[in-house]
Amino acid sequence: MADFTKLTGDAELWTYFRQGDENAYTELARRYYRTLLHYGLRFTPNLQLVEDILQDLLVHLWLHRDSISDTPYVKFYLVKAFRHRMIKTIRPLSGEVELTDHFDSVNPEFSSEDMLIGDETEIALTRQVRNAIDKLPARQQEVIYLRFFQNLRPDEIAGLLSINPQSVSNIIQRALSNLRDLWHTAYPILFYSFYQILY
């Protein structure tokens, strides 16, 4: 088995994983477990259920590694597979499982990295960004999350959500317009800073 570092590219890890390399599989799981877990909390606040579904996906991937197709977009593949499994599992349980239609407050992109900024003004701004995103409609929240915090391209988001790329662009524009409206009194400073955080 090969040894991998944080600098090893996803595509290379994916190739070794498909060939049965346990170290590559472990590194992929380590690299994306937290991202997928927090994405799952977009659908339900039931952490145990989300963890169970994620574990099922990881086991499925390992057991079917030799029949999984190659992809240069590993992150997109994993997010799409997890989203499909989340919906498939939760939909029949909708009467028993609490669902959420808002951007969960524990999303990972607003955690340790933001604390490292060290500037209280920036931290306060981050909280304002989070609160503003919480007020967006659920679909806008999801698209903003996938585009800016998971760095998926519009065409990838379109494939993930089964809509066309133009619809993704329209949703992003509506979301940003809504954020401008939410911050109209402080738009010149806050909205510019918001873009600094996203990009």
Q: Whose structure tokens read 């609160």?
A: 131
Q: What is the tens place of the pLDDT at every residue in 21-38?
A: 999 999 999 999 999 998
pLDDT band at 187 (very low <50, low <70, confident <90, very high): very low
What are the DSSP calls for 94-161, one per residue? Answer: TTTS----S--TT-GGGSHHHHHH--HHHHHHHHHHHHHHHTS-HHHHHHHIIIIIS---HHHHHHHH
The mean per-residue pLDDT over the stretch 74-87 comes to 91
137-178 residue pLDDT tens: 989 988 988 888 888 889 999 999 989 999 999 998 898 888
Show the tokens assigned to 192: 């510019």
**The pLDDT of residue 1:** 67
Q: pLDDT-derived band of residue 90, with 50, 70 and 90 as boundaries?
A: confident
pLDDT at 5: 77
Q: What is the pLDDT of residue 98?
A: 52
- Residue 120 pLDDT > 80: no
The residue ranking higher by pLDDT, 121 or 170, is 170
At residue 117, the pLDDT reads 38
Q: Is 53 exposed, middle or buried (CB count within 10 Å of its CB: 0-12, 13-18, 19+)?
A: buried
**Nearest Cα residue to 129 out of 191, 45, 40:** 191
What fold does the segment set 108-198 form as a domain? Answer: Butyryl-CoA Dehydrogenase, subunit A; domain 3 (1.20.140)
- Please name the fold of domain 10-93: Rna Polymerase Sigma Factor; Chain: A (1.10.1740)
The CA-CA-CA angle for residues 85, 142, 28, to 5°, reads 50
**Domain spans, the chain:** 10-93, 108-198
d(CA 44, CA 97): 7
**Contact (Cβ atoms closer than 8 angstroms) between residue 139 and residue 167:** no
pLDDT digits (tens, 9 = 90+) for 39-52: 888 888 888 999 99
